[in-house]
Structure 1
Amino acid sequence: VVAVDRDPESAARTAQEARRAGAPAAWAEPADVSDEQAMEKLAERVTTEYGVVDVLVNNAGIGLGGSFFDTTPEDWKQVLDVNLWGVIHGCRLFGRRMAERGQGGHIVNVASAAAYQPTRALPAYSTSKAAVLMLSECLRAELAGQGIGVTAICPGFVNTAITSTARFAGVDAEEERRLQKRAARLYGLRNYPPEKVAAAILRGVVRDAAVVPVTPEARVAYALSRWMPGALRRIARVKSPV
């Protein structure tokens, strides 16, 4: 296991937890997925030191809430740089090496139920995740003949630190902190653990699933997006309690 995070301590902690969980070996590599040059150096270093990865998981993401008209170009750039370009960099640099090796592999891109469930509260975040979902579908089609599977994971409300670090457009710092605390509290009450998402990722790789909605609400929204999209559009108009 090679754990990558722009925070070296977080990467080291993840690698340590992987070893405790039984991974034969786990290393930490610091890198910012939105930085193309940093990712190129990471891919070269990982390949040189550990070999071509068998399973790639593009998981880094940041949250941003707020009205479309309150979301600045800089807000858009920050979200897309991490949530979309980070995935593109990972797929391009590590996926190419998988393809050149010629022994198959699997790419997992963590999207979100927001990829197919529109909402007035998350225009930038939802757009970034919808792009990740479509990228995954296109890449899956391209790599199918090379034995490389591609899976898009679409969680719903999961109790992770993304809620306490999410940003909110159009509000001052004090209101943003209040909204962060409220979101973290609501997600904490929901208390769907990230370990269940990890288990869904493993199942998705084993089964070579194209799209894996995780959490009950994500599965309901996915079904509605296919069979009753009008219902989702009406739900999208409801103002978020957060």
Structure 2
Amino acid sequence: MSVRKAIFITGGASGIGRAIAVRFGREGWFVGLGDIDEPGMAATEALLPGGYSFACRLDVRDRAAWDEALDGFATAAGGRIDVVANNAGIPLGGALVDNSAEEIERCLDINLKGVLFGAQAAYPWLKRSAPGSCLLNTASAAGIYGTPGASVYSATKFGVRAITESLDAEWAEDGIEVRSLMPGFIETPLLDKTPHHGANEDIRSRVIAGGLEITPAADVGDAAWNAVHGRDLHTVVGKTAARLRFAARWMPGRLRKQVRASNRPLGK
């Protein structure tokens, strides 16, 4: 009898987290969700096979809460965790001088500190189920090249990329795979939020005005499945991310000129 594998996903109440949950649930995995949005998690669970999911309220900034969440999930999943998806994150845009100290600290705490805490908490569980276990971090195309009008957000996603690369080496001898997703603009509720407290335009409007494509969330679910089961350290998702990676590698000078010429901070 085959053992049902288990994945725990932060930010599982909507968007990318929900897409990952649905994709792995479709493959017969036991799916765990961690989020502060409890009604959203219930909606995600409704899309999963009955009896094969677990949800708990989790603020990723709380290190002790991470241990409690993974302990509870492992118990529900039969004592194993094969993948932890560090996906929870928030947007922050606008010129740096327009970002409040509170906004900066919140973005750093959730997007960066939350990933570090998640990796720490996940390690003993992933080591136990290795080889073949995986820490999957959601970075961003903003972690490929710094995005004008999103310096704090870009910094956090470059940080997630660095964490991924560091732990890929650090955990290799334990048989734990470490991967990241680098999506462009994805069809999620985050697009309908304003980039910072003083903005009067949502992110979606800026993306559309810039002529950039919005990638279906299901594509990220497929990319997550491929990342966990493939060999690539970083997986880009969407045409914007793919073009940006190509330009950053092969045409850095031209990319810099294009970025400087097109700079119009989000929310302006």
TM-score by length of 2: 0.79
Aligned to 1:179: 202
* Corresponding position of 2:143: 115
| 2:69 matches 1:42 | yes
| Counterpart selection for 1:77 from 105, 112, 116 | 105
Distance verdict in 2 for CA 1:159–1:139, change over 3 Å: same
CA–CA separation in structure 2 for the residues paired with 1:80 and 1:216:
27
Counterparts of 2:257 and 2:210, CA distance in 1: 23
What pairs up with 1:1-242 in 2 under 5 angstroms? 1-19=31-49, 25-50=52-77, 51-168=79-196, 171=198, 176-180=199-203, 182-183=205-206, 190-237=213-260, 238-240=262-264, 242=266
Q: Is the 8 A contact 2:194 2:202 kept in 1?
A: no
Which residue identity lines up with residue 47 of structure 1 in the other structure?
A
Task: Tell me which protein shows more helix as a share of its residues.
Answer: 1
Query: CA 1:241/1:94 → structure 2, altered by over 3 Å: closer, same or farther?
Result: closer
SS in 2 for 1:17: coil
In structure 2, C-alpha distance between the alignment counterparts of 1:58 and 1:105, rounded to whole Å: 14
Q: What percentage of residue pairs aligned between the two structures are identical?
A: 30
In the alignment, the residues of structure 2 paired with residue 90 and residue 166 of structure 1 have an alpha-carbon distance, to the nearest angstrom, of 27
- C-alpha displacement at 1:208, in angstroms? 2.9
CA distance 1:146–1:190, change in 2 (3 Å): same
In 2, Cα distance between equivalents of 1:189 and 1:134:
26
The offset of 1:101, in angstroms, is: 4.8
Q: Secondary structure at the match of 1:121?
A: coil
Aligned length: 234
Q: 1:182 and 1:198 mapped to 2: Cα distance?
A: 24
Deviates further, 107-116 or 215-224:
215-224
**Normalising to structure 1: TM-score of the pair?**
0.87
Q: Please, which runs of 5 or more residues in structure 2 have no aligned partner?
A: 1-30
